[in-house]
């Protein structure tokens, strides 16, 4: 009797990538999966029979990874778990071995939203470079290349709380400027519609007016050569902008934190916030709620008539 051919890890990886491409996941999401598998392949060996890989092999891989955050480790875990779930559905293996392992614990990072002054400082420098000295001449600066784009990005991130990958993968046709909404594709290919303010709508209009020949299926924000902006590069650009403005620790997720905290401070309800952020659970929203409650407690302490009147 002929022994059935065993698929290698490399072959299964190729099949899984084709399956998620067929689901039309974002380019950024697909690249994230590929990065995980490219990290795992040299560890396990691309020619290793897929069905022979054990949960202990995966555990050793996760333990061997150094120099990355717990968030990255959790991403590796989730990506491999997704591949094995697909392999079970395709009858390539009998069970998902990744589910035998505990997921790496998330890091409890400090949530530090922008202050109003910090955000206004960043807006104030979108048009001009950092001042510099030239030999024999007085201190000077120059106009930046894309001030309208920078302003629109800052306002849209702050006004919607969307993830940076959701912003960079958005297309022009997804924006409803009349009704002030943007339709985005989030994690797990889940769509959601996010409202934004008239001021943000005006900033988007000003930016898109600099691209009169653009087509509806083009990226909403593009580089100088009209390509989709890379999320990592956008993060670096925002950090540089923050340095010009004198604002420390600028990264895309701080805009998301700031949106969430301000939403709750201004009487937004947590369940709607959960939907706007695209979270599957209320876990993260509860952290935002605790910070907003701290603000309320501090405000009461300052404003309490019993304390202020020394009753």
Same domain, 145 and 237: yes
Q: Give residue 309's pLDDT.
A: 62
pLDDT at 79 over 50: yes
Rounded Cα distance between 254 and 242, Å, is 12
- Highest average pLDDT, of 14-28, 140-154, 205-219, comes from 205-219
Q: Give residue 80's pLDDT.
A: 96
Same domain, 187 and 294: yes
Q: Does residue 133 sit within a domain? A: no
Angle formed at CA 278 by CA 275 and CA 279, multiple of 5 degrees: 95
Same domain, 150 and 293: yes
- For residues 85 and 69, the model is more confident at 85
220-247 tens-digit pLDDT: 999 988 899 999 899 999 999 999 999 9
Rounded Cα distance between 207 and 170, Å, is 15
CB distance 279 to 285 below 8 Å:
yes
Q: Give residue 107's pLDDT.
A: 66
Q: Does residue 295 sit within a domain? A: yes
Same domain, 283 and 197: yes
pLDDT at 142 over 80: no
Same domain, 20 and 44: yes
Q: Does residue 250 sit within a domain? A: yes
pLDDT at 145 over 80: no
Q: Does residue 25 sit within a domain? A: yes
The lowest-confidence range among 79-83, 90-94, 132-136, 202-206 is 132-136
CB distance 75 to 32 below 8 Å:
yes
Q: Does residue 147 sit within a domain? A: yes
User: In the predicted model, what is the mean pLDDT of the chain?
Assistant: 86
pLDDT at 297 over 70: no
Overall number of domains in the chain: 2
Full residue range of the structural domain in which residue 75 is found? 9-100
Across the range 28-57, mean pLDDT stands at 93
Across the range 93-107, mean pLDDT stands at 89
The partner residues of 134 in beta bridges, in order of sequence, read 137
Same domain, 157 and 291: yes
Same domain, 241 and 121: yes
Q: Does residue 4 sit within a domain? A: no
pLDDT at 63 over 70: yes
CA–chain centroid gap for 248, Å, is: 19
Same domain, 268 and 188: yes
Same domain, 232 and 95: no
> pLDDT band for position 24 (50/70/90)?
confident
pTM for this one?
0.67
Same domain, 56 and 90: yes
């Amino acid at each position: 009797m002929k022994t059935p051919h065993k698929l290698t890890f490399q072959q299964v990886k190729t099949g899984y990538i084709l399956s998620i491409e067929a689901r039309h996941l974002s380019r950024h999401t697909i690249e994230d999966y590929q990065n995980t598998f490219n990290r795992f392949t040299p560890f396990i060996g691309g020619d290793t029979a897929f069905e022979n890989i054990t949960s202990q092999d995966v555990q050793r891989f996760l333990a061997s990874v150094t120099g990355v955050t717990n968030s990255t480790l959790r991403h590796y875990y989730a990506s491999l778990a997704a591949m094995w779930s697909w392999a079970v559905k395709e009858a390539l293996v009998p069970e998902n071995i990744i589910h035998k392992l505990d997921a790496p614990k998330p890091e409890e990072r400090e949530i530090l939203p922008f202050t109003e002054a910090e955000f206004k400082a960043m807006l104030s420098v979108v048009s001009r470079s950092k001042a510099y000295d030239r030999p024999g001449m007085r201190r000077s600066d120059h106009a930046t290349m894309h001030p309208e784009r920078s302003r629109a990005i800052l306002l849209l991130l702050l006004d919607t709380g969307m993830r940076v990958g959701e912003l960079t993968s958005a297309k022009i046709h997804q924006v409803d400027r009349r009704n002030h909404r943007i339709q985005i594709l989030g994690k797990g290919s889940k769509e959601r519609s996010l409202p934004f303010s008239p001021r943000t709508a005006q900033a988007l209009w000003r930016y898109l007016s600099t691209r009169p020949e653009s087509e509806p299926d083009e990226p909403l924000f593009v580089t100088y050569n009209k390509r989709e902006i890379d999320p990592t590069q956008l993060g670096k650009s925002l950090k540089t902008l923050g340095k010009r403005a004198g604002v420390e620790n600028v990264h895309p997720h701080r805009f998301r934190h700031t949106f969430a905290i301000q939403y709750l401070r201004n009487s937004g309800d947590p369940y709607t916030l959960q939907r706007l952020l695209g979270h599957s659970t209320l876990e993260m929203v509860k952290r935002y709620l605790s910070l907003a409650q701290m603000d309320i407690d501090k405000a009461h302490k300052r404003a309490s008539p019993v304390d202020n009147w020394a009753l």
